[in-house]
Amino acid sequence: MRRLLDNPGGGKMGPTASEGPKSAGPRFRELFTPKLVTVLQEGYGLRQLQADAMAGLTVAIVALPLSMAIAIASGATPAQGLYTSIVGGFLISLLGGSRFQIGGPAGAFIVLVAATVHAHGMDGLFLATILAGLILIAIGLLQLGSYIKFIPYPVTVGFTAGIAVIIATSQLKDLFGLSLAVPEPAELLDKIPVLWSALPTFQPASLLVSAGVIAVIAALRKFRPSWPGMLIAVAGAAAISILLHLPLDTIGSRFGGIPSSIPLPSFPPMTLEKVQAVLPSAMSFALLGSIESLLSAVVADGMTGRRHRSNCELVAQGVANIGSGLFGGICVTGAIARTATNVRAGAHGPVSGILHAAFLLLFILFAAPLASYIPLASLAGVLVVVCWNMAEKQAFASLLRVSRGDALVLLATFLLTIFRSLTEAILVGFAIGSALFIHRMSKTTAIETHVPFVSEDEADSHGGDRTPYDQAVATNSDVVILRISGVFFFGAAASIGSAFDRVVDRQRALIIDFLAVPFLDSSGAHTIELLAAKAHRKGLPVYLTGTSHAMRLELFAHGLKPPLVHYDRTVETALRRTGRRTS
């Protein structure tokens, strides 16, 4: 049996000293070796290229309407969205630390990009994007990527849901075909009266097209999940609007179409005053980009069992943002939905991301005029679907039910994202989460003051429950036992998750013991949820032992119920269920 002793409260992590000397840590060069190099060193042939080509084409088909829709919602042109996916997506796959990451414009950036364009113009956006890239490179080279994972889970769910609400409201104009007498305000409270006053200009055709696009995407996702629902829906909407001569705004009527080439790289105008003006936006881009890209990499890891290199990934994200800004694109990051599509399409490695960028480039070179016929109402429908998928509705509801503290962090982040700013929401959410952790720690300390700081020696007969040692227990490689000791909270979740990733896959059972855990928060429960889902996909049963009533409530709220996991009072009873017994 293999034991991995973890102390999320700040003690020693990893194998015990009895397992032998620890190997030397990886060198700096190894930590920043792109995954593309790793894949090529493994051996890359025609079979792998075919798999990557099919996956790259699949992702390009998904990315084509999304890139244009996100760019339009951000206050940019549809061509800029494609430039972002081509240049940024290519550089992320070329240099990144994630094997399956797909880069491009992301819905989470719409709010920040639109605000930057409104305040500083398009040149200000390019400059902020380049500066964000430099900040990301610095974060990665200083190996600070691990600290990004310290953000509490309720904060992530809260700001993601808040962004989804803002994006959805930004699409109301095109959804209903409204004509505004004044420019559309960025703030939600200012936007609603302007949209209300424009109701007399409502166009039923716009709503019907948007609703049709949403319905087609939903239907294909349910009955034909392997089909490119978004592209089919948008192409169908364009065909119907042409055949029926619908009076709808299109990409051609509003933006003059898409150029059949990519612009040459150029630096935006740069002065010290301009840099100081856009620096807050650049820092927001870098913060959100690091969070989104690492979340996307974690999703890919969970789906494939591989592990990404976070600091190498952040350096690649930085280079990609610099490249996107130079070529007239907008902010680029790892896109969770497109990365998941890449994995499901059978990608072998980063070559699929490079080919996805190449396929989009071919579209611009040979088929750009076709995009002029796409109705903007159809792209608004696409973004409504994106918002629905972004908002983690089940996670949001469970966090509200489980704990008042988590609910407070969640709602504060959610509301501040909508009514104030994303950066402020993340900072306040993190501060509240930290304060709640200190409060919980103080309660735990008060309850357990009788426990000595250093364990005291005990006689062999102490307690009367000593049983003979069975050496077969320590040598059985069929069962892995993970013993967690200390507070399992958001600050430890990343370290524990990394330790879990090192668990060998070819085992018969996995036992996680919580006996020495005073409490765990939603971030800890979410980490166990990801591990259990990964084990379930591999057919590995998971047993949770030593959990208190409060822990079980938290774990149940995250879906950790039979048959996904099994609960036992002690490790010994769990071992009996796996066919082994300890003494």
- State pLDDT tens for residues 295-329: 888 778 877 777 888 899 999 999 999 999 999 99
Q: How far apart are CA 201 and CA 356, in angstroms?
A: 40
- pLDDT for 12 equals 37
Averaged pLDDT, 374-396: 88
Going by pLDDT thresholds of 50, 70 and 90, the confidence category of residue 498 is low
Going by pLDDT thresholds of 50, 70 and 90, the confidence category of residue 386 is confident
- pLDDT for 18 equals 33
96 within 8 A of 321, measured Cβ to Cβ: no
Helix 310-326 × helix 110-141 angle, to 10°: 130
- pLDDT for 121 equals 94
Residue 550 parent element (H or E): helix 549-557
Going by pLDDT thresholds of 50, 70 and 90, the confidence category of residue 21 is very low
- pLDDT for 505 equals 53
Residue 85 makes CB contacts below 8 A (sequence gap 6+) with 63, 67, 103, 104, 105, 332, 356, 357, 360
Residue 452 makes CB contacts below 8 A (sequence gap 6+) with none
E-strand stretches of 343-485: 479-485
- pLDDT for 483 equals 81
- pLDDT for 19 equals 36
What percentage of the chain has pLDDT greater than the value 70?
Answer: 84
75 within 8 A of 330, measured Cβ to Cβ: no
Going by pLDDT thresholds of 50, 70 and 90, the confidence category of residue 491 is low
Q: Is the pLDDT of residue 278 over 90?
A: yes
- pLDDT for 398 equals 83
- pLDDT for 92 equals 96
Averaged pLDDT, 162-167: 87
Q: 577: which 2 tokens?
A: 């269920």
Edge-first strand listing for the sheet containing 509-516 = 2-6, 479-485, 509-516, 542-545, 566-568
Averaged pLDDT, 459-480: 56
Q: Find, among 86, 76, 89, the residue nearest to 330 by Cα.
A: 76
Give 329-355 pLDDT, tens digit per residue. Answer: 999 999 888 898 898 888 999 999 999
- pLDDT for 466 equals 54
What's 61-118 look like in SS3? HHHHHHHHHHHHHCCCCHHHHHHHHHHHHHHHHHHCCCCCCCEECCHHHHHHHHHHHH
Helix 376-390 × helix 46-73 angle, to 10°: 110
Give 41-59 pLDDT, tens digit per residue. Answer: 989 999 999 999 999 998 9
Q: Within 10 Å of residue 372's Cβ, how many Cβ atoms?
A: 17
What domains are there in the chain, each with its CATH number?
46-264+291-390 (no CATH), 472-577 (3.30.750.24)
Average pLDDT over the chain, rounded to an integer: 83
pTM of the model: 0.74
Least confident of 19-23, 28-32, 49-53: 19-23
Q: 406: which 2 tokens?
A: 């988590």
Averaged pLDDT, 11-37: 60
Q: Is the pLDDT of residue 544 over 70?
A: yes
| Pairing, β 542-545 against β 509-516 | parallel
Give 197-231 pLDDT, tens digit per residue. Answer: 999 999 999 999 999 999 999 999 899 888 888 88
Q: Is the pLDDT of residue 40 over 80?
A: yes
Averaged pLDDT, 268-278: 93
| Pairing, β 333-334 against β 103-104 | antiparallel
Where is pLDDT greater, at 578 or 399? 399
| Pairing, β 509-516 against β 479-485 | parallel
Where is pLDDT greater, at 261 or 21? 261
105 within 8 A of 129, measured Cβ to Cβ: no
Give 139-164 pLDDT, tens digit per residue. Answer: 999 988 777 767 788 888 898 888 88
For residue 71, which amino acid is it? A
Q: How far apart are CA 146 and CA 150, in angstroms?
A: 8
Q: Is the pLDDT of residue 257 over 90?
A: no
- pLDDT for 11 equals 36
Where is pLDDT greater, at 478 or 12? 478
Q: Is the pLDDT of residue 454 over 50?
A: no
Q: Is the pLDDT of residue 271 over 80?
A: yes
Q: Is the pLDDT of residue 281 over 60?
A: yes
